[in-house]
Amino acid sequence: MAKWAVVADDLTGSNATGVLFVKKGLKVVTVVNYQMLPELVSITPNYHGLIVNTFSRGISPDEARKRVEETATILRKAGVSYFGKRIDSTARGNLGAEIEGMLSALGPEYIAVVVPAYPASGRIVVGGYLLVNGVPVERTEVGRDPKTPVDTSEVSSIIARQSSLPQGFIPLKIVVRGPEAIKAELLGEIARGRRIIVVDAVSDQDIESIAEAVFRAGIKAFAVDPGPFSSALLTKWAGSSFNVEQGKVLVVSGSASSLTRVQLGYLGEKYGASFINIDVRQLLNNSQSLDMEKAIINRLKVLSRESNVFGLRVAEKEDMVLNLETEARARGLSTEEVSSLITTFLARIAREVLRLGIPNLKGVYLTGGDMTVAFCEACHAEGIELKGEVLPLAAYGVLIGGEFAGLPIVTKGGLVGGPEGAFKCVEYLLKT
């Protein structure tokens, strides 16, 4: 059986949510009609996850609750471990009834975490109010919808019309403080007996932070949202089902930024990434040492056999960051020359390990301003054929020319992305 499932209230919403998972390299099937689910259970091991349409947006609350409960029960009994409840991005339909249906099917230990935001589509939640392109949803044409009008923008009030279960709320002032603050507030709301918790969000980063908080809290919960929160949370929970162990990624980090340290630390937590930490001062003092170079190549080759994600990095800790201007003056060099010595060394090591061969290598992740240039020069690549964008300012492509022509790479600056930036880049390579 697939490891996760999203129960959706209509077919177009099902497909829209499923595409968010497909973009992450996952194999997803939309079950067009929930009544077909028992017949399809046997084929679901071929997929990472399911999106099941219950046609429940425009029907009576009692029937919507019944359909959702029956669907979630079938999924749970079939072995699904993680759940999402897809709702309309403008809060039309039977929100309270469907949430209750999910909670009834999953059991009293579960809670519903409601994040109705879809920032990429102009939907945000502030102070518990849903805004569409900055306008309260009740003031948009949705407020005059002939089938399912929305006459209030307060999400908790919409839910309360069909559910008397105790609700909690986590405001934006907590969300912007990050996962640990959200986690503490979430656990506090649960301790106070809340079964349904609405959370503010105005950006994709907010949604990622909320998902990380739920993941860290180790609670039994399901996502309630138009898609982005389910995508973020379920991929964290069910990450082991994505077969990332079948490929390897070489990481070459020439960035000494604090953000890079956080990102590589997160990468280590998620994928067990292993790194050789380069002592930059020792490197500068022994830049021509073949013995040091060979030793690092051998160590990196060993790591390539032991870990799926492995590589080289500088400045693992803050006290390892060097002042390049000071180091340059001490050696009678320019800062550009010192920087080039470092990136050229890293690129040369990476090239030699690639020459030795890495079975099932999915690609190379490069971070740091000049790291990509140094790597391409070391590999004698003539160019990069761009294939796509992993996240803003992070590109995916393949090398053109040279001895590693066709090698997939992802390049990103050291100050780009949030804490999950490196994880997303490596994940992209593993799933492409």
* Residues 395/349, Cβ–Cβ less than 8 Å: no
The amino acid that residue 178 corresponds to is G
Range 243-431 has CATH code 3.40.1160.10? no
d(Cα 238, Cα 48) in Å, to the nearest integer? Answer: 9
What is the three-class DSSP state of 69?
helix
Q: Which residue has the tokens 């994709």?
A: 204
pLDDT given for residue 244 in this prediction: 39
Distance of CA 103 to the CA centre of its chain: 25
Taking residue 314's Cβ as centre, other Cβ atoms within 10 Å add up to 24
Q: Which of 318, 316, 368, 317 is nearest to 344 (CA)?
A: 368
Name residue 274's beta-bridge partners: 310
Q: Which residues fall within 8 angstroms of residue 119, CB to CB, at 6 or more apart? A: 201, 202, 203, 204, 206, 207, 228
Domain boundaries, the chain: 4-240, 243-431
CA–CA separation, 32 and 10 (whole Å): 9
For residue range 364-413, what is the model confidence (pLDDT) as tens digits?
Answer: 999 987 899 999 999 999 999 999 999 999 999 999 999 999 999 999 98
The CA distances from residue 408 to 53, 310, 344, 361, 378, in Å, are: 37, 16, 20, 9, 16
pLDDT at 319: 66
- Please answer whether residues 256 and 314 qualify as being in contact, where contact means their C-beta atoms are separated by less than 8 angstroms: yes
Burial of 362 (0-12, 13-18, 19+ CB in 10 A): buried
Pair of tokens at residue 140: 């948009």
Distance, C-alpha 312 to centroid of its chain: 23
Q: Are 255 and 367 contacting, i.e. CB atoms less than 8 angstroms apart?
A: yes
| CA-atom Rg of the chain in angstroms | 25
Give the pLDDT confidence score for residue 43 in this predicted structure. Answer: 59
Question: What b/e sequence results for 214-225 when a residue is b if at least 16 CB atoms lie within 10 Å of its CB, and e otherwise?
Answer: bbebebebbbbb
**Assigned token pair, 366:** 């490069």
Low-confidence ranges of the chain (pLDDT < 50): 240-245
> What is the model's pLDDT at position 147?
85
Q: Looking at residue 89, what is its pLDDT?
A: 96
Distance CA 190, CA 152 (A): 26
Alpha-carbon gap, residue 104 to 72, rounded angstroms:
9
- CA–chain centroid gap for 154, Å, is 28
Strands (E), 120-166: 123-126, 129-132, 135-136
Task: Give 235's contacts (C-beta < 8 A, 6+ positions apart).
Answer: 21, 24, 26, 242
Amino acid at 126: V
Angle at 179 between CA 88 and CA 27, to 5 degrees: 50
Tally of CB atoms within 10 A around 406: 10
DSSP 8-class letter at 142: G
Question: What pLDDT sits at residue 42?
Answer: 61
Identify any residues that bridge with 408 across adjacent strands, giving them in sequence order.
Answer: 398
User: Residue 41: what pLDDT?
Assistant: 65
On whether the CB atoms of residues 398 and 384 are closer than 8 A, the answer is yes
pLDDT of residue 241: 45
How many angstroms separate the CA atoms of 77 and 400, rounded?
A: 50
Fold of the CATH domain 4-240: Rossmann fold (3.40.50)
Contact 87, 95 (CB under 8 A): yes
- Written as six digits, the tokens of 195 are 């079964």
Instruction: Please answer whether residues 123 and 89 qualify as being in contact, where contact means their C-beta atoms are separated by less than 8 angstroms.
Output: yes
Tokens of 136: 């309260």
Among the listed residues 24, 386, 400, 416, the one whose alpha carbon sits nearest the alpha carbon of residue 253 = 416
What pLDDT was estimated at residue 324?
67
